Amino acid sequence: MQSNGEPKPQGPITGVSRRSFLKSVGATALAADALATTAAPAADAPAAAAADPDGIVRGETSIQLTINGQARTVTVEPRTTLLSALRDRLEPALTGPKLVCDAGTCGACTVILDGKTAYACSLLAIDLPGRQITTVEGLGTPDKLSPVQAAFCEKDAMMCGFCTSGFVTSVTSLLRANPDPTPEQIREGCKGNFCRCGTFPHIFAAATAAAETIKKTGVKA
């Protein structure tokens, strides 16, 4: 069977869990025969939290995630990423984190997971019940911007805006950990994100301005 040039087969298709599949065939054979073994419960079948005796989840399952301080129920496949769960499956969706590279290289999907930044495209949603997930929507609202969001507006730290959610989230996480960063530390804190329009200097300026606001007002980042 040909793989049509897909660069990184994700392994199992519906009905075969990631782990059981990896155990059974080994990673090198991922591309080839996966589909031949398909005999699956419908992807659109009602969510059946079908954990086998060996503890392996198959098919779609309903899980509870803690997102922006709220318990949210969402139906996912074992291979559904956190990003896809937020954007494609959660009702109503959270689309602040963006799908850009889907490969952990651009930072547009950055969320805060238990106090640290993480790429939502590179986490499996099913691993995350019990963890604290914060998206950009959880940091502030248009009527009540967080200090970082307000500083991004003031310094014009965005153009098309598709990377902005990720940068706001990274800078917020940085300032929570280090309220008084040096310019070098700001670059380090954002190096997992990139922007194509070229807003970097204004992002750095916004991070500095937000740190000053936080120092002056004592408002949380």
Partner 1 sequence: MATTQPIKKKKIKVPQVVNGVPTEVEIEVDDVAGPTWGANDKHRLLNTRIPRSDGPAKTTGTAIYTFDVRLPDMQYGRFVVSKHARANIKSIDTSAAEKIPGVTAVVPFAKSVRYEGEPIVAIAAKTREAANDAVRAVVVEYEPQPFVVVAEDSMKPGAPQIFPPSNRRQVQGNADEVAAAFKDCDAVIDVEYRTKIMHHACLETHGVVVDYRGGDTATVYASTQGTFTVPGDASKAMGLKQSDVTCIVQHMGGGFGSKFGMGIAGLWGCKLSKQLGVPVKMMLTRRDEFLTGGNGPGSIQKMKAGATKDGTLVACHSIIHGLAGVGRANIAGQPYQYKATTFFREQTPVNTNEDASVAMRAPGFPQASFAIESLMDELAEKIGMDPVQFRIKNVTNESHKRQLLRGAEAIGWANRPAKAGSTPGHLKRGFGCGIGAWGGGGGPKCIVNLVIGRDGTVTAESGSQDLGTGTRTYVRAIVAEELGLGMNDVLEKIGSSKFGDANASGGSTTAASLAPAVKDAAFNARVALAKLVAPLLGAQPDAVTFENGKVLGNGKSLDWKQACMTVPAAGLSVQGQWQPGLSGNGAHGASFAEVEVDVETGHIRVVKMCHVQDGGLILNRLATESQINGGMIQSLGMALFEERVMDRRLGVMLNPNFGEYKLPGCLEMPELIPIIDDGDTREAVIGIAEPANIPGVGAVANAVYNACGVRVRDLPITPDKILNGLYPAKA
Quote the least distance from Cβ 23 to partner 1, whole Å.
20
Residues 12-51 that bind partner 1 (CB under 8 A): 13-14, 31, 34-35, 38, 40-45
Among the listed residues 116, 196, 215, 220, the single contact to partner 1 using CB under 8 A: 196
What is the Cα–Cα distance from 60 to 64, expressed in whole angstroms? Answer: 13
Residues 46-105 that bind partner 1 (CB under 8 A): 77, 79-80, 84, 87-88, 93-103, 105
What is the Cα–Cα distance from 131 to 134, expressed in whole angstroms? Answer: 10
Among the listed residues 66, 131, 200, 208, the single contact to partner 1 using CB under 8 A: 200
Q: How many chain residues bind partner 1 (CB under 8 A)?
A: 80
Quote the least distance from Cβ 36 to partner 1, whole Å.
8
Among the listed residues 119, 199, 210, 211, the single contact to partner 1 using CB under 8 A: 199
Give the amino acid at 29.
A
Residues 109-128 that bind partner 1 (CB under 8 A): none
Among the listed residues 160, 179, 182, 220, the single contact to partner 1 using CB under 8 A: 160
Q: What angle do CA 129, 133, 139 make, to 5 degrees?
A: 155
Is residue 175 close enough to count as binding partner 1 by CB under 8 A?
no
Quote the least distance from Cβ 185 to partner 1, whole Å.
11
Task: State the pairing for strand pair 132-134/61-67.
Answer: parallel
Read off the tokens for 146: 């967080």
Could you give the maximum distance between any two Cα atoms of the chain, in Å?
A: 63
- DSSP bridge partners of 61: 76
What is the Cα–Cα distance from 79 to 99, expressed in whole angstroms? Answer: 16
Selected range binding partner 1 among 47-55, 112-120, 134-142, 212-220, rule: CB under 8 A: 134-142
CB-neighbour burial class of residue 139 (10 A; exposed 0-12, middle 13-18, buried 19+): buried
